[in-house]
Chain A
């Protein structure tokens, strides 16, 4: 409960129409099933929610929080458990009124956005200027700013557009204690083209492989990199999701690449990376695509040996896309991909020969609409693994993720999707790879409440074998730090110190980051 006098102070900042403590409204911020490790879909009910419309209002709220020792947390588009209040008695800053694209700098290839700009909004506007943005696999409905400043950053287009942690330029940041800092060039009033300096880059405090999940204040603006888009200003499309029909431009090509085994998938991935071709690259195993597309059929047939062996033979399946700026570039990239396939005994299916499928996959991959399909099989999903090192290092990790997952499928704790639904993409022409083992389940089924155990078993084995990180997004925060910290240079100690330096009172919700400490 918030003291009435404190509530009034918040009200003075945003106006009475932009703050609420109605239980029905507040409950809207507490229901979160995705990546929620607790048995209940209902999490802590906050004491109030405020809708600031400017940096000044955000700062005003944070200052009131500091005066009265009230915890707070930012909420951009609210996709997944991370924005849920870690405690009761706190205030949520719902940033939906901060919804402007402030600038698209066409020549210098970046956009300046507020928190409630979603990936699809930015992409549509950027394409009008011949530019594109990396959309995370979470979907087009997510906040560009949240992903860049505060969460993860993986998606289908990482091969050409990278990982969002590395796509950040200037940032505007309301610190947990209420000061406003602009990182990099905007801090000196020099435009938003750089987020680093003078001197050391404080982007390294803002976030790492993962963001601080609301634990280090509120980000109000971010300049994010855009990339070349050689396609049309707008791709005309009719229909939705499955039924979408679009004219796929001639300079865009989509393929399915199939490999007979893991080794040849790996070798081909290195070749594609070295050749510096490709716009989209993603290991989308057959089990995953079938679970997304035909969950009913999958349920009925997954147990049949013939189906399993058919699926097994096509599991090393990659979606690969080219977006070329000239006929010469298109011809070159096509020639290379065909040669890579030939040298690695693969099969190349040109999605252009399957127009309906091509339309569906274009939006699925380019705009990240595919991720919504993950909910079809059971209504919920989670993931484990998240190995993020070399492409080769993923191979044994994939086996590990599949083996542990199969045990849970066998006892009915997960939906049978042939177990290998390890989604994997390469970043920056194969600088590193991300492998994430997806699991689908029905969280209303009492038997299917155990996904977090899969995560834990995978993590334990990754640590035991010294195989790498396995912090699923579900696991940022103290629980994971306790597991990994001692094996990773006690990084959690530095996070506690950062938290102490920036937020000595621990007011910016520590649940997904850490408490302050020494």
Chain B
């Protein structure tokens, strides 16, 4: 599309037609098939984004928003139409405001986890992290994708930790969600001690909920406020080992019920080895040593009597664990408290941690209740067996969300990067497993990769309503076409 017009909006140096850059978007680390975009445009402010959307609407061209640096996963940014232009938002990377008292930051989409974490730590605050995001991962991008965060007690509602946002809809209208809508602009709001903290509204709808989870098909976010929490003044991390996930279930439920612990996640031995191990040999060796399942959590204290808080929680958790015949440990099979601390606070080193084991990987993720997880594990093992894929190579990560009312379940199928046969085998395994997991009650709330249509086939009524709303917010269907199947009736 319209290179000249795009250049007119952002300047010629912010529009790229360079083949290698375009080709880099044609595929990603998922099985998504697509094509290279026709150009990449890099706006620096919301006004330019508005103009780009208006231009695309006139030309009926597709726009693919992208906020993170590569490598990319899940197919969100692989264009499905050749006329598409990638809107690269990584250059919009200002941390506009950090407010300690109200524990909030206002950031542009190009701000990454590592950078934000460093900046807010200066104020005694912490960013709510997903599990080891890659170095260039956009905070706003991650929260818009509803990636789970590590601290379930701060995940009150599905939108968390995303609060308010400035969005440019497919109509070209600029909108601010939640209390950021007004009255007054940001400066006026700050002057009256309002810090874009209330995520609801404005009025009688919550359009941020529609923007989130939409894979860029509804609007482009140009800034967002995000919930931060205090950095602990004292903390200890623990691992509880188990032979099966089911053994941990009682403890997991009872801790979540009482909001005990901060970071809180369950990993199988393969994923834990892939995280803390270095190269392939080390990971293999660790896999052999680590327990099949580990519950990892941290307890912490804050401004008031931090060690009292830590010690009552340690005692209470110890009692709950004891009742289940489990024992929290500070280190396990050579994995130290420091190793675990790095996992809970950090971003992934380079290369991204999932590449470390065998070079290639494919993810399957869904949400379910915690008690559904054991049956999914069995199902995965069965499917792996059928596909002649070694089930010991499946990484598993269970992250409680919504304060424990459900959980994100993630299977990572590691495979030899250079082996196309392996890759195809894993693709086939993904296909059969996803269908069976769906049939068994797994809810694919975040459609991904080539399977993004499947969840909608199961809920035609929702798809119909979504079609009406999609049409309202992006009437020309220009925003990331194909990534959410809006079914217009």
Contact = CB atoms under 8 A, between A and B. Distances in A.
Contacts of A388: 179, 198, 200
Nearest to A467: B192
B330 to A, nearest CB: 20
Contacts of A489: 174-176, 181-182, 202
A200 interface: yes
Interface stretch (B83-91, B114-122, B444-452): B444-452
B308 interface: yes
B182 A325 contact: no
B443 A194 contact: yes
Interface string B392-429: 00000000001111100000000000000000000000
A510 to B, nearest CB: 11
A198 B403 contact: no
B445 A497 contact: no
Interface in A128-173: 130, 162-163, 165-167, 169
A488 B209 contact: no
A332 B316 CA distance: 12
B207 interface: yes
A51 interface: no
Interface stretch (A8-16, A269-277, A402-410, A442-450): A269-277
B248 interface: no
B273 interface: no
Given A107-B253, A200-B211, A339-B304, A495 B465 contact: no
A370 B200 CA distance: 27
Contact of A166 (B157, B195, B205): B157
A196 B253 CA distance: 22
Given A200-B466, A392-B101, A205 B205 contact: yes
Nearest to A213: B204
B188 interface: yes
Given A191-B369, A193-B369, A204-B205, A392 B200 contact: no
Contacts of B209: 196, 200-204
B459 A182 contact: yes
Nearest to A163: B200
A399 to B, nearest CB: 12
Interface stretch (B58-66, B132-140, B213-221, B284-292): B213-221
A175 B313 CA distance: 47
Interface in A212-243: 212-213, 215, 225, 228, 230
A201 B158 contact: yes
A505 interface: no
A328 B311 CA distance: 9
Contacts of B446: 197-199
B484 interface: yes
Contacts of B200: 163, 165-166, 208-209, 388
A191 B441 contact: yes
Interface in A117-132: 130
A194 B201 contact: no
A461 to B, nearest CB: 11
Nearest to A329: B312
B205 A495 contact: yes
A201 B461 contact: no
Contacts of B194: 389-390, 393, 467-468
A228 B198 CA distance: 24
A165 B198 CA distance: 12
A191 B375 CA distance: 15
B192 A466 contact: yes
A270 B101 contact: yes
Nearest to A276: B302
A30 B386 CA distance: 65
Interface in A270-303: 270-271, 274-276
A163 B468 CA distance: 28
Nearest to A485: B203
A225 B443 CA distance: 18
Given A208-B201, A210-B204, A199 B215 contact: yes
A107 B255 CA distance: 11
B202 A198 contact: no
Contacts of A501: 468-469, 471-472
A109 B213 CA distance: 24
Interface in A256-277: 270-271, 274-276
Given A181-B462, A190-B441, A198-B447, A484 B156 contact: no
A56 to B, nearest CB: 15
A115 interface: no
Which of A185, A392, A481 has its CB near the most chain B CB atoms (within 10 A)? A185
Contact of B447 (A199, A431, A495): A199
Contact of B202 (A188, A491, A513): A491
B203 A199 contact: no
A31 interface: no
A90 interface: no
Contacts of A196: 146, 158, 209, 213, 445
A504 to B, nearest CB: 10
A325 B258 contact: yes
Given A388-B198, A393-B194, A468-B183, A209 B305 contact: no
Contacts of B199: 166
A39 interface: no
Nearest to A203: B209
A60 interface: no
A207 B211 contact: no
A202 B469 contact: yes
A189 B458 CA distance: 8
B240 to A, nearest CB: 18
Contact of B462 (A166, A198, A466): A198
A362 interface: no
A208 B161 CA distance: 17
B371 interface: yes
A494 B205 contact: yes
A363 interface: no
B192 A393 contact: yes
Given A196-B213, A276-B302, A467-B183, A484 B471 contact: no
Interface string A328-346: 1101100110011000000
A232 to B, nearest CB: 16
Nearest to B309: A332
A463 B182 CA distance: 9
Interface in A86-128: 105, 107-110
B214 A200 contact: yes
B456 interface: yes
A432 B198 contact: yes
A495 B202 CA distance: 10
A108 B442 contact: no
Interface in A441-479: 462-463, 465-469, 471, 476
Interface in B96-131: 101-103
Contacts of A365: none
A393 B331 CA distance: 45
A498 interface: yes
B213 to A, nearest CB: 5
Contacts of A328: 311-313, 315-316
A57 interface: no
Nearest to B455: A198
Contacts of A487: 182-184
A336 B199 CA distance: 29
Given A198-B455, A390-B102, A494-B175, 16 more contacts: A107-B370, A180-B461, A182-B459, A194-B158, A196-B158, A197-B447, A201-B158, A201-B213, A202-B469, A208-B206, A210-B201, A271-B303, A331-B308, A396-B192, A466-B189, A469-B183
**What are the 6 tightest A-B residue pairs by CB atom distance, in nearest-first order?**
A204-B209, A466-B184, A328-B312, A197-B445, A209-B201, A198-B455
28 contacts: A107-B253, A182-B461, A188-B438, A193-B406, A194-B406, A194-B443, A198-B213, A198-B443, A198-B459, A199-B215, A200-B212, A202-B465, A202-B466, A202-B469, A205-B210, A208-B200, A275-B302, A335-B305, A388-B198, A389-B193, A390-B193, A390-B197, A432-B198, A466-B184, A468-B183, A491-B205, A494-B175, A514-B204
